[in-house]
Amino acid sequence: MTSAERPAAARCSSCEAVCCRLMVVLQPEESIPDHLTTYSPKGYRVMKRGEDGWCVAMNSVQMNCGIYETRPAVCRRFVMNGPYCRAIREDYSRDAAKALQESAR
Ligand code: SF4
Ligand code: SF4
């Protein structure tokens, strides 16, 4: 693959915070305000997500984390441009393109 064919590196500053659409399981010691959390069907305490699919702690104007300083451990470990980041961004782009095609029919 040439550098021209290689996809550009993922950068949070130009991403629609795709990782903030994933389920975020909280550790017992994490003190996230109750109104931002809920329980998964399996009984895990998780970050709540809105109807738009994003974590409710997102600042939807700036598209960044509204609780950045106290964000959950799993969010701190998520690596920009790591394999998981790139994979979920690809899925998200594919789904968005498909939705666009379907809406144009
Ligand atoms: S870590 Fe990856 S998916 Fe998350 S905001 Fe940054 S570039 Fe987007
Ligand atoms: S807590 Fe912050 S970093 Fe973690 S998913 Fe929610 S908005 Fe994203």
pLDDT in tens, 14-71: 999 999 999 999 999 999 999 999 999 999 999 999 999 999 999 988 888 999 999 9
100: CA distance to ligand 2 center in Å?
A: 26
CA–centroid distance, 55 to ligand 1, in Å, is 13
> Per the domain annotation, does 7 fall within a domain?
no
What is the span of the domain harbouring residue 86?
17-104
Domain count for the chain, please give it.
1
Please report the pLDDT score of residue 42 as a whole number: 96
Q: Looking at the CA of 83, name the nearest ligand.
A: 1
In this prediction, residue 87 carries a pLDDT of 97
Q: Is 37 among the domain residues?
A: yes
Look up residue 1 and give its DSSP letter.
Answer: -
pLDDT attached to residue 89: 96
**Nearest residue (CA) to ligand 2, atom 4:** 75
Distance from the alpha carbon of residue 11 to the mean position of ligand 2, in angstroms: 16
Residue 8: band (very low, low, confident or very high) from pLDDT cuts 50, 70, 90: confident
| Sequence-ordered list of residues with C-beta below 8 angstroms from that of 57, at least 6 positions apart, any chain | 20, 32, 36, 47, 65, 66, 67, 71
pLDDT score at 100: 87
